[in-house]
Chain A
Amino acid sequence: MSDLDDLRDSVRGFLDKHAPLRGDGDTWPRLSTELGLPGLAVAEAHGGSGGSWLELAVVLEETGRCLLRAPYLSTVVAAAAVTGADDLLTSLADGSTRAALALDEDVQVDGDRVSGTLAQVVDAPGADLLLVRTGGALYAVEGFEVEPLTTLDETRPQGRVVLTRAPARAVGDADRARDLLHLGLAAESVGAMRRCLELTVEHLKVREQFGRPLGSFQALRHRVADLTVATEAAASSTWYAAKAAADDAPHLPVAAPLAKATAADAFAQVAGETIQLHGGIGFTWEHDAHLFFKRAWTTRLMHGSSLDLRRLAYDRAH
């Protein structure tokens, strides 16, 4: 068993216990202090564990698997993208700073002040740090007001942020930050769709109709196989991008948007089929399927459509 598998087991054990799908408690303090997860890929000099994106991708698969209700993705992407601001790195690594990312549109910059209206910022409610962009430059904003929004996906909060000459400092490369966000979204999606498949297969083994388990009908078995192929394709794309990030390889700007596009499309397919293959029970509020379905489409609709991301990757590669 590899170190990555050990890491996966320990994170899964923790999240199974403390972050159930329907949980509403604040898991962030435990996740930060007991496991030190926010600092997983932060250098030891800044209080982190010095891990790589291969490890981070494994943890993100697990936080995706339980649709974690905490700003883990935003915070680790911020920690990986911020450069030249050691105070921020240290507080991101120990979990005392929670980040939100607004990397899909530009704000206006005037010296060390930023202005703009950010209509939908994931993880903004409760965030201490907001990363915004103008052109290729990444800026950190620490004082801002958030208007919480009601979201279709109750596990992933969003807020509206209006910045009016808010103090900001330049902290790195916005395109790299967005690449890492895409990679992180892909990893979360892979974990989530694996869980969907497990739930579906379990149902097909147990549920009997016409005197036999549903899973013995070839029409259904083949659909499970197709979903497995989509999931593994997403996992491969995500692994490839994570390895590029871990190796600081020049093809990350191609691999990351492709990973997000591949994984978001696959997740939407798998989550939709999870409802269908569960039949009526899958359509109920009580069943967990809709939580995954709503997360899948939120992932797919935000941070760049799949076609736009594939075009972006294609243009970057050619």
Chain B
Amino acid sequence: MSDFRAEVRDWLAEHLRGEFAPLVGTGGPGREHEHVELRQAWERELGTGGWIGLGWPVEAGGRGASVEEQVVFHEEYARAGAPARIGHMGEQLAGPTIAAFGTQEQKDRFLPGILAGSELWCQGYSEPGAGSDLAAVRTRATLQDDGWHVDGQKIWTSLAHLADWCFLIARTEPGSERHKGLSYLLVPMRQDGIEVRPIVQLTGTSEFNEVFFDDAVTAPDNVVGEPGQGWRVAMGTLAFERGVSTLGQQVGFARELDEVAALAGPEHHDAVVEAWAGLQVLRATALRTLDNDASSSTGVEASVSKLLWAGWHQRLGELAMAVQGPAATLVDGGLSPLQNLFLFTRSDTIYGGSNEVQRNIIAERHWGLPKDRA
């Protein structure tokens, strides 16, 4: 075992106990409502331990860890059953974006809070009229003497009710269309001009929200990149998404598969075998993507990977019900973890770029097929 793996494992064994013991196995898709305050404390614990921003460059306050080390961290984190992160949107999206496109003042102001786990972020991209078609953003912001004034509505905003800050794209040039005239703003969430309303999902729980901006204000300096260049910055953020956490995610998938397999009778054995084989394909795909020497890159690995894992996970959810038979249709108190898996995985093929959007990306960017006629 590598020294680094031992370091991660030891730290988790040392800290994921005592007051944090109830957090083992909590949080995550469909379960973000669990132990919220304790998980916020856990974020700060991680920050104190120096585990946030592992892959960030040293000059941004990170550890400059290699891809392999980051993978090890995510694997060990998942193996220990450590709780789902609630600081990931700051660590994986806002932070890298500010580090790449922000001013020195913005870096000094925002990166330490992310690294300490003390300031939480949410992402304001999607709108009721701008889902797959992100460039249809209508939320607008105008620069006045006291700062940017934001009006509009965002939707599917994970953890908005916990977040201190929101990074969002808003139309700052009246009359502009599509990708032009958008700006990337950082907006404090705790103010009168912002109202967060939870969306009750088909699981009966909530982790996504609608966020209403009614003359919300943020300081003039809280724009990342040039005003009007928000699309470029936002696309940069999306490029930071996905990657090294994939193998950690798959440790969780393997645990779910074990739970399903334990309930499967002989008649479902082959389906379990097929699911297990599918998970090996996901793992091989992730490792190939991370291997710099692997030949024949397509440039659309993220889309291929998303379609593969989202489809696999959804089928696992269906298998989780099939192995239980009719009993799976009864609810006892609340949804069981496998019922939750079954229901929540319907969202896997929608969020973070729906399957349909991913297919278009592959058709256009990899194959150069012409766009469909509008």
Contacts and interface: CB of A to CB of B under 8 A. Distances in A.
Nearest to A200: B367
A225 B270 contact: no
Given A224-B363, A310-B273, A232 B304 contact: yes
B373 A258 contact: no
Contacts of A254: 280
Nearest to A190: B296
B326 interface: no
A240 B294 CA distance: 10
Contact of B360 (A218, A239, A258): A218
B362 A237 contact: no
Interface string A223-259: 0111011001101110110010000000000110010
Interface residues of A, number: 41
Interface stretch (A32-40, A108-116, A208-216, A292-300): A208-216
A236 to B, nearest CB: 4
A261 B277 contact: yes
Contacts of A212: 370, 373
A46 B229 CA distance: 62
B274 interface: yes
Contact of B281 (A222, A226, A236): A236
B288 A262 contact: no
Given A221-B360, A225-B358, A225-B362, A236 B288 contact: yes
A313 interface: yes
A216 B373 contact: yes
Given A310-B273, A314-B276, A233 B281 contact: yes
A58 interface: yes
B187 to A, nearest CB: 36
Contacts of B293: 2, 4, 54
Interface in B338-374: 356, 358-360, 362-364, 366-373
A232 B280 contact: no
Interface residues of B, number: 39
A311 interface: yes
A240 B287 contact: yes
A225 B284 contact: no
B298 A314 contact: no
Question: Looking at B276, B291, B300, B370, which has the most chain A CB atoms within 10 Å of its CB?
Answer: B370
B199 interface: no
DSSP majority for the B interface? helix
Given A229-B304, A229-B307, A233-B281, A239 B288 contact: yes
Interface in A279-318: 307, 310-311, 313-314, 317
B285 interface: yes
A201 interface: yes
A247 to B, nearest CB: 12
Interface string B66-83: 000000000000000000
Interface in A171-213: 201, 204-205, 212-213
A317 B272 CA distance: 13
Question: Looking at B274, B304, B363, which has the most chain A CB atoms within 10 Å of its CB?
Answer: B363
B288 A222 contact: no
A229 B362 contact: yes
A26 interface: no
B61 to A, nearest CB: 34
A239 B359 contact: no
Contact of B284 (A216, A228, A240): A240
Contacts of A240: 283-284, 287-288
A8 interface: yes
B16 interface: no
B86 to A, nearest CB: 31
B372 A258 contact: no
B100 interface: no
Contacts of A233: 281, 285, 304, 308
A57 B75 CA distance: 29
Question: Looking at A222, A226, A232, A233, which has the most chain B CB atoms within 10 Å of its CB?
Answer: A232
B367 A228 contact: yes
Contacts of B373: 212, 216
A304 to B, nearest CB: 13
B296 A224 contact: no
B329 interface: no
B295 interface: yes
B301 to A, nearest CB: 8
B368 to A, nearest CB: 8
Given A201-B367, A232-B298, A222 B285 contact: no
Nearest to A58: B295
A281 to B, nearest CB: 19
A147 interface: no
A86 interface: no
A5 B307 CA distance: 27
Interface string B298-312: 101101100110000
27 contacts: A2-B293, A5-B296, A201-B369, A205-B369, A213-B370, A216-B369, A221-B360, A221-B364, A225-B362, A226-B307, A228-B300, A228-B362, A229-B307, A232-B285, A232-B298, A233-B281, A233-B285, A235-B296, A237-B280, A237-B281, A237-B284, A239-B284, A240-B284, A262-B281, A307-B270, A307-B274, A313-B280
The 7 closest A-B pairs by CB, nearest first: A225-B359, A240-B284, A221-B363, A236-B285, A4-B295, A225-B362, A215-B369
Given A215-B363, A229-B362, A236-B287, 11 more contacts: A205-B368, A205-B369, A216-B369, A218-B360, A221-B363, A222-B356, A222-B359, A224-B369, A228-B298, A228-B367, A310-B277
Interface of B: 270, 273-274, 276-277, 280-281, 283-285, 287-288, 291, 293-296, 298, 300-301, 303-304, 307-308, 356, 358-360, 362-364, 366-373
